[in-house]
Amino acid sequence: MVRNEFRQEFVSPVSVFFFLILPLLFTAAVAAGLGGLSENGERPEEFRAELYVESRDEGPLVVAFLQALQEANLTVQVVEALPEDTFGLEVPADFSARLRRGEHVTVLLHTLPARSASQAVEQYVNAAAGRLAGAVRIAQSGQSRAQDAGIAVGAEEDSAFFDDVLRRTLEATQNPPAVAEVRWPEAVELAGTPGTGATGVEQASAGQMVTWVQITLLGAAQVLVDERERGTLRRLLVTPATRATILGGKLLARMCLGLVQIALLLGGGALIFGVKWGEQPLATALVSVAFAIATVGLGLLIATFVRTRGQANSVVVGGAMALAALGGAWYPLEVTPLVYRQAVRVLPSTWAMRAYTDLLARGATVADVLPYAGILLGFGVVFTAIGMWRFQAYE
């Protein structure tokens, strides 16, 4: 039965175009498009924006501020005048003096809204300013307590004491002794931390693979309709093979097709685009098999609802595209709101994408991807069980 399906699938050279060539072309196109998100193919966590600073103040707190900016993932360049079309920061002349007195002070950030990095630069500057402001507050408070206790006397000693507390506070906040590790409710939520996603080409390779393989795997929905419309289903059902065997054979064939396509697209991704798919072969295979089982199961379930080939085609292509888009195959889920990320957990494509991007971006091992594979297999068992149950009642 598997051989029969393969023969029918590849009877025309056009099939190879849709099976392999078109997905690779889309991978190239999408990788080029996503390049902007990851700045020349670098991972988001490696990204450092260049920030030009025009400061009319040369006081000690400006130096501390520049240091904090530098430590907040910005490459700081101090200039006389801000150049055009760059991220720029204007620091007023009384920055140190006002901050020292505990007064409110404003710095002016020039952003570039058209650049995807604008939001990140704004966050980095805010983080550095907040860190400095906090350190200044702590230093002032410490100085005040020292004065009350008579530890530091005289303006010069006071100032030295302030600078010392400020320096120590900034150091402490750069390397805090206690770190809060953020965890999502599910143990499997490895992804989703902003700034740890895949590069553009990795996202494109994984995303396009999931998209196109889903079309092949969900094609299980067409198999029964095709057999029904061709008249062969009735004949199959009166052969000495159980319905489970017939269905199992059909699904196994579809799964094998999907796995062959995955292997080809992974190979294509590695050879043509340099994506490092081969680093965790066992983990990749595990995720792929689980993804294939889940999606073929969904295809079977759909098959028991659709009545015509036209319906099946629409549902397969539309469904595969929708699942891919919602599940993060077309853009990183990290750019979506938390509520969205939580909502799309009901889709197998979401878990497949998380697993594949973890494999690429974080070098996830078999142990790391086991929870993803477990969830995908769970989807597969549920979909297949309902589909089989409905198929048994087919007349």
Partner 1 sequence: MSLVEARNLVKRYTADGPKAVDNVSFEIRDGEIFSLLGPNGAGKTTTISMLSTLIRPTAGTALVNGYDIRTEPMAVRRSIGVVPQDLALYGKLSGRENLRFWGEMRGLGGPALWEEIDEKLALMDLTDRAGDRAETYSGGMKRRLNLAIGMLGNPPLMMLDEPTVGIDPQSRRHILDYVRELNRAGAGTLYTTHYMEEAQELSDRIGIIDRGTLIALGTLQELTQMVGEHEMLRLQLYQPEAGQALVDGVRGLEGMHQASAADGEVVLSVAAVETTLPQVLTKAADLGLSIRNVEIREPNLETVFLHLTGRALRD
Q: Which residues bind partner 1 (CB under 8 A)?
A: 1, 4, 7-8, 11, 230-232, 234-242, 395
Which C-beta is closer to partner 1: that of 216 or that of 295? 216
Q: Supply the minimum distance, in Å, between the C-beta of residue 9 and partner 1.
A: 9
Give the pairing of strands 74-78 and 49-55.
parallel
Which C-beta is closer to partner 1: that of 91 or that of 251? 251
CA distance 260 to 19: 10
- Token couple for 132: 């400095």
Q: Supply the minimum distance, in Å, between the C-beta of residue 21 and partner 1.
A: 21
Alpha helix segments (H runs only) across 39-117: 60-71, 95-100
Q: Supply the minimum distance, in Å, between the C-beta of residue 241 and partner 1.
A: 6
H or E segment to which residue 52 belongs? strand 49-55
Q: Supply the minimum distance, in Å, between the C-beta of residue 242 and partner 1.
A: 8
Question: Are 277 and 270 a contacting pair, CB within 8 Å?
Answer: yes
Q: Supply the minimum distance, in Å, between the C-beta of residue 346 and partner 1.
A: 34
The backbone torsions φ and ψ at residue 46, rounded to the nearest 5 degrees and listed phi first, read -90, -5
Which C-beta is closer to partner 1: that of 3 or that of 183? 3
Residue 277: exposure state from Cβ atoms within 10 A (0-12, 13-18, ≥19): buried
CA distance 145 to 148: 5
CA distance 102 to 311: 69
Which C-beta is closer to partner 1: that of 237 or that of 252? 237
Which C-beta is closer to partner 1: that of 133 or that of 237? 237
Q: Supply the minimum distance, in Å, between the C-beta of residue 209 and partner 1.
A: 27
Which C-beta is closer to partner 1: that of 56 or that of 307? 307
